[in-house]
A = this chain, B = another copy of it.
Amino acid sequence: MELIVKSMPAEVQAQALAWKREGLTVGLVPTMGYLHEGHASLIRRAASECDRVIVSVFVNPTQFGPNEDLESYPRDLEHDLKLARECGAHLVFTPTPETMYLPGASTWVTVEGLTRELCGKSRPIHFRGVATVVCKLINIAQPDRAYFGEKDAQQLAVIRRMTADLNMPVQIVGCPIVREADGLAKSSRNTYLNEKERQAALVLSRSLERGREMLEKGETDVQKVLDAISGTIAAEPMARIDYVQAVDADSIEPVKTLAGTVLFAIAVYIGKTRLIDNFYWKV
């Protein structure tokens, strides 16, 4: 079928409800566009599991702080439509801030607790914006399943918590990080890096790899693993640590010992570009 492109929330909702009435299952892949191989893996997985796939492309202003990169965030809708079509999407939803946030809009969805650590520290309003827009996107697209990358592991935990707490009838599917051949996690923000920075950015995946190797060899002291990760990053002159933390994967509470699923997560500035990466360690 032809790829449908729509920008009005009400039109997308009407299409989704029509599909649901026909008994079709719907998958949603929320994105900020500038789609890369990570997004492609989400869309392909959705297409393999759902009858209809809706990809949203929306650089959501309410999840950016005043000094963040809302204005410079890369955009390329033509490329996004092509990639979405090739990966099996049926509808691309391209709203504008004006159609998503009507005059007088004043409702926020907040998730407490899970948003205190990691990115919540340096991006205080970020997850309020994420939770609110994802709640809206789910209500618009009426998906049976919604797909998110594990690179944004805290976002994934927040959205799992929100949809469970608000009894939203949707299954949240987390998908593995997709990396460049040299290890750098795919991100639309990698486009900000110049050649030298691109090379320096490898310290993120390399430091995590070092931590994971220690765990595989039997290290059980969480702090030693974190220290090794931090030490590796500190040795790269172009890198500046925002955080290096080990938290419970569901509650995003800091952990001192290995139990359940532990998320080792880092955020690092390479020049002016802030990058994140992580891995899960299941005990």
A interface residues (Cβ-Cβ under 8 A, vs B): 9, 13, 17, 20-21, 23, 102, 104-114, 131-132, 135-136, 139-140, 142, 161-162, 164-169, 250-251
Contacts and interface: CB of A to CB of B under 8 A. Distances in A.
A169 B169 CA distance: 14
Contact of A135 (B106, B131, B161, B166): B166
Contact of A9 (B9, B107, B110, B167): B167
A271 to B, nearest CB: 35
12 contacts: A13-B169, A20-B20, A21-B23, A102-B164, A104-B250, A106-B165, A107-B109, A107-B111, A136-B167, A139-B167, A139-B168, A142-B169
B111 A106 contact: yes
Nearest to A250: B104
Question: How many copies of this protein are present in the complex?
Answer: 2
Contacts of A162: 107
Given A139-B169, A164-B102, A169-B17, A110 B108 contact: yes
Contacts of A110: 107-108, 110
Nearest to A140: B167
Nearest to A13: B169
A168 to B, nearest CB: 5
Contacts of A169: 13, 17, 139, 142
Nearest to A110: B108
**Which among A9, A106, A107, A251 has the greatest number of chain B C-beta atoms within 10 A?**
A107
A54 to B, nearest CB: 13
A112 B104 contact: no
A108 B136 CA distance: 14
Nearest to A12: B167
Given A136-B166, A139-B167, A139-B169, A106 B102 contact: no
A161 B9 contact: no
A106 B166 CA distance: 10
Nearest to A23: B21
